[in-house]
Amino acid sequence: MTTITIDSRQRVELIDITEKVRAAIRDRGIADGLAVVYTPHTTAAITINENADPDVAIDLVMALNKLVPFDDHYHHAEGNSAAHVKSTLVGASETLIVENNIPVLGTWQGIYFCEFDGPRRRQVHVKVIGT
């Protein structure tokens, strides 16, 4: 398993980790199989979406903030319930197909770490399984 450290800078942001995940897969030397990209945080997530236009990530953050407002009479005393809800909606992991030692992604796809309770230092684990 490879662990990637991420330092977020904003309360809510999407950070493109595609190249870091590619490097983690390449370093494992597994030609064909699967790679699981997972974050062990309850206020963060992993997603795959377009990374050609940075406005897409901005729009995703804007839409998630509208769907799950920061203050909505939550009961959790820590004050970050919106981050927990966003994390649950997006999900803590993505599974990628690996062929020829690279992740199979669409032309415009990238892998994002989703910060919902930053800024913080976070971890992403990449586990590659295969031959």
pLDDT digits (tens, 9 = 90+) for 92-127: 999 999 999 999 999 999 999 999 999 999 999 999
SS3 13: strand
Cβ atoms of 4 and 122 closer than 8 Å: no
pLDDT digits (tens, 9 = 90+) for 9-49: 999 999 999 999 999 999 999 999 999 999 999 999 999 99
**What pLDDT does 72 receive?**
87
Is 7 buried (19+), middle (13-18) or exposed (0-12) by CB count in 10 A?
Answer: exposed
pLDDT digits (tens, 9 = 90+) for 118-129: 999 999 999 999
The pTM score is: 0.95
Q: What are phi and psi of 37, to 5 degrees?
A: -110, 120
d(CA 101, CA 63): 34
Which CATH class, in words, describes the domain spanning 2-130? mainly beta
Cα dihedral value 11, 14, 122, 71, nearest 10: 30
